[in-house]
Chains A and B, each alone.
Chain A
Amino acid sequence: MKQNYIIIFLVAVVISLSADFDIARFSDPQKYQWKNFEEQQAFRQDLLERQKLLQIYELKKQDVTSNLVKSALVPGWGHFSAQHYNKGSILMATEVVLFGTGFFYLDKAMDSYSNYKDATYIGDIKQFYTDANDEYRMFQGFMSLGLLVWCYTIYDTIVVTDEYNAAVWNRILQDSGKRISLGMGTVSVRF
């Protein structure tokens, strides 16, 4: 008995929904303003051309993630990939100088620290410890600056890769004369 009520209820719901459904609008062959078969074909052709542009863009654009990994491994590598050679060179040189100076001070600090551990004269103990600490702080300072520049390099890789991709897209547009715009990280196609 209960099952019968449920079936009657479901049938009533289906009937009431189907009353609101506009079957004519759903099946209207002119809803895209195609007046004839030629217009439909032209529209289709236009879509295919735009799709082709996007495919060319996909082939030519740089992958942000891969550039990020490159910059994380070797600072500046991602910039070189995105053809920002000046910026990449400056960042790479900065990192070499900062880390190089940092390791120079670490070497000096470890020498002084080794002398401190072996010292038996009170003057040497105090002097070597002070020297080792000063040099170790210099090492920490340069390494910290190097890490900050490294983080900036990784962040900037995203920006320059997006700039590169935007330039690629603009070139494709210039070549084709199509009105398709590229935003930061998004592509919008105006139909």
Chain B
Amino acid sequence: MKQIIMAALILFLLISCSLSRKNPLDPDSHNVSAPGKVTGIQVSVTGSNTVYLQWEARSDADGYYIYRSQSYDGAFPLIKEVEVSDITTFEDVNVEIATVGNENFYWYKLSAYILVDGEKLEGYRSEAHSW
């Protein structure tokens, strides 16, 4: 019985060790906090090849990332990095809004980032938005 308890104790001690948090951008181990989600996102079509995006500025952001996809739940590759936090608009001219009845939809996600020792810590991405 004693040996079983000892073995269980050793097993527990071995399993209870965890990996150290070595990422300098990790808010759980370093004195940093990621910016919140970008809010107030508005998407509108301003031409046959132009989509206009607008959002609310965040005081805790140093810049923004803009992602685009042609499906709501598909992959959202990065299409633009806005490096100034005061700029809260973007005009996407690389789209093809097709003819009536066969319209292409584009979905956008935005996120804010802050600079930590030259590295960019990106906050949570917004929900997908379209017009």
B102 within 8 A of partner (CB)? no
Q: Within residues 125 to 152 of chain A, which ones have a CB less than 8 A from any CB in chain B?
A: 125-126, 129, 132-133, 136-137, 140-141, 143-145, 148
**Residues of chain B contacted by A137 (CB below 8 angstroms):** 15, 18
Of B19, B25, B120, which is in contact with the most chain A CB atoms at under 10 Å from its CB? B19
The prevalent SS among residues of A at the interface is helix
Contact A144 B15 (CB under 8 A): yes
What is the total number of residues of chain B having a CB less than 8 Å from a CB of chain A?
Answer: 25
Contact A116 B23 (CB under 8 A): yes
| Also in contact, A117 and B11, with CB within 8 A (given A122-B122, A122-B123) | no
Contact A117 B122 (CB under 8 A): no
**Residues of chain B contacted by A117 (CB below 8 angstroms):** 22-23
What is the total number of residues of chain A having a CB less than 8 Å from a CB of chain B?
Answer: 23
Contact B124 A122 (CB under 8 A): yes
B45 within 8 A of partner (CB)? no
| Also in contact, A109 and B19, with CB within 8 A (given A122-B122, A123-B124, A125-B26) | yes
B5 within 8 A of partner (CB)? no
**Residues of chain B contacted by A120 (CB below 8 angstroms):** 25, 113, 119-122
Q: Which B-chain residue is minimally distant from A118 (CB atoms)?
A: B23
Q: Which B-chain residue is minimally distant from A145 (CB atoms)?
A: B11
A113 within 8 A of partner (CB)? yes
In whole Å, how far is A122's beta carbon from the nearest beta carbon of chain B?
A: 4
Question: Once the chains are docked, how many angstroms separate the CA of A41 from the CA of B126?
Answer: 104
Question: Once the chains are docked, how many angstroms separate the CA of A118 from the CA of B22?
Answer: 10
| Also in contact, A133 and B10, with CB within 8 A (given A122-B34, A122-B124) | no
Contact A129 B11 (CB under 8 A): no
**Residues of chain B contacted by A119 (CB below 8 angstroms):** 23, 25
Residues of B within 8 A of A (CB): 7, 10-11, 14-15, 17-19, 21-23, 25-28, 34, 111, 113, 119-125
CB<8 Å pairs between A and B, sample of 9: A116-B23, A119-B23, A120-B121, A121-B122, A121-B125, A129-B19, A132-B19, A137-B18, A141-B11
* Nearest 10 Cβ contacts at the A-B interface: A122-B34, A121-B122, A144-B14, A144-B11, A140-B15, A140-B14, A117-B23, A133-B18, A125-B26, A136-B19
